[in-house]
């Protein structure tokens, strides 16, 4: 609220300017981000407030918008209603997470022919506050599934530049790892190494469903089965257990195209486990790819088979970016 009191200006009248609007908070997908780790340390984000209006009808400065970057593959949920609000499927998409408050009107707006000196100003509106839940689902063409220690990390390290932790104990992989597999200059696909599954994973056992969701967006699954003599496991039983876990988690995931891969064929010994898996796949009509990530046996054939399969599978459709009006 202000009045003009300038020399040689009789009856100056009201001159209070409007307040500036508050800044908006945007979420924007960025191709160089891979995790939501930064939200563990900072959970509240506020845009800049608008400035007060001033005398001489000067408008207050608008608050600056705040843009918070997230990885591609982030899904935004309303924490209160559990409603899905947005899905970032490509870089550069923007989502209006919280709208800034409007600026108030100065007293110059309230002058009339009968009330020429109003002592009234309108306060600005409050900005929007929202509690959001962010969930990251990796975007990959191919997902590796199987029991712990079947050679998934070694395989992705041989086919791509990814360097996941590799060790001889269960659950070496604690978080998903992405690698780009190149066939030549023009052909490549993205492969995701998912932490190993165990029986009951869909109920939260082992690392549970925290990482099963990452295979929801893949177009093709590679099911690695360890046929090494020292594994002590039944490869046919392993196949059934993992398939059951996928079905229990999501029938859509279980129905995805899948290639069966016999891993560690360099250590099969007498080959009983490998022969049992061969017979099973032949009975079911599944092609079996036999590989050794240590010696490189079968890796090139597997890459070509994966690419041939991907060429026949549709890519997921991206949604349009959401921008405020």
Q: How confident is the model at residue 10 (pLDDT cuts 50, 70, 90)?
A: low
Stated pTM of the model:
0.59
| pLDDT above 90 for 132 | yes
Beta sheet of 177-182, edge-to-edge order = 177-182, 188-193, 142-145, 220-226, 258-263, 288-290
Q: For residue 51, is pLDDT > 60?
A: yes
Query: How many whole angstroms separate alpha carbon 316 and alpha carbon 13?
Result: 62
Structure confidence by residue, pLDDT tens digits, 187-230: 878 888 877 665 554 445 445 455 677 677 788 999 999 998 87
Contact 139, 189 (CB under 8 A): no
pLDDT tier at 321, thresholds 50, 70, 90: very low
Higher-scoring residue by pLDDT: 185, 244: 244
Residue 181 has pLDDT above 70, yes or no: yes
pLDDT surpasses 90 at 89 = no
pLDDT attached to residue 169: 38
Q: What is the pLDDT of residues 135-171, one digit of tens each?
A: 877 667 898 888 887 888 888 888 887 665 544 434 4
Check residues 320 and 14 and name the one with the higher pLDDT.
14
Residue 133: band (very low, low, confident or very high) from pLDDT cuts 50, 70, 90: very high
Pairwise CA distance, residues 91 & 65, whole Å: 19
For the chain, domains (ranges, CATH) are 1-136 (2.70.210.12), 142-311 (3.40.50.300)
Would the pLDDT of 324 be above 60? no
Mean pLDDT of the chain: 80
Using alpha carbons, select from 138, 140, 27 the residue that is nearest to residue 76: 27
H helices within the chain, ranges in order? 38-41, 152-159, 235-249, 251-254, 272-284, 299-311
Residue 151 — left, alpha, or beta (φ > 0 → left; ψ -120 to 50 → alpha)? Answer: left
311 three-class SS: helix
Average pLDDT for 88-101: 91
pLDDT at 15: 76
pLDDT per residue over 251-295, tens digit each? 888 889 999 999 989 888 778 889 999 999 999 999 999 999 889
């Amino acid at each position: 609220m202000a009045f003009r009191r300038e020399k040689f200006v009789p009856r100056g009248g009201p001159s209070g300017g409007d307040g500036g609007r508050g800044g908006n908070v945007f979420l924007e997908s960025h191709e160089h981000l891979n995790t939501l780790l930064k939200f563990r340390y900072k959970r509240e984000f506020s845009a800049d407030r608008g400035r007060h209006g001033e005398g001489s009808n000067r408008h207050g400065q608008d608050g600056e918008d705040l843009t918070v970057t997230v990885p591609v593959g982030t899904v935004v949920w309303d924490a209160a209603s559990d409603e899905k609000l947005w899905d970032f499927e490509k870089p550069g998409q923007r989502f209006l997470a919280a709208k800034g408050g409007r600026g108030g009107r100065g007293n110059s707006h309230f002058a009339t022919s009968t009330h020429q000196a109003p002592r009234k100003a309108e306060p600005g509106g409050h900005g929007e506050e929202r509690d959001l839940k962010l969930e990251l689902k990796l975007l990959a063409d191919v997902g590796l599934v199987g029991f712990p220690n079947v050679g998934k990390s070694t395989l992705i390290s041989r086919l791509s530049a990814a360097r996941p932790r590799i060790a001889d104990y269960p659950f070496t992989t604690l978080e998903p790892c992405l690698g780009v597999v190149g066939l030549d200059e023009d052909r490549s696909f993205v492969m995701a190494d998912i932490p190993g599954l165990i029986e009951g994973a869909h109920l939260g056992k082992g690392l549970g469903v925290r990482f099963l969701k990452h295979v929801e967006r893949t177009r093709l699954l590679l099911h690695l089965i360890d046929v090494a003599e020292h594994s002590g496991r039944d490869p046919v039983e392993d196949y059934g257990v993992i398939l059951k876990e996928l079905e229990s988690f999501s029938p859509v995931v279980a129905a995805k195209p899948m290639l069966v891969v016999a891993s560690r064929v360099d250590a099969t010994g007498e080959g009983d486990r490998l022969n049992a898996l061969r017979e099973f796949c032949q009975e079911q009509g599944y092609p079996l790819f036999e590989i050794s990530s240590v010696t490189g046996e079968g890796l090139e054939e597997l890459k070509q088979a994966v690419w041939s399969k991907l060429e026949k599978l549709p890519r997921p459709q991206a949604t349009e970016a959401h921008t405020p009006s």
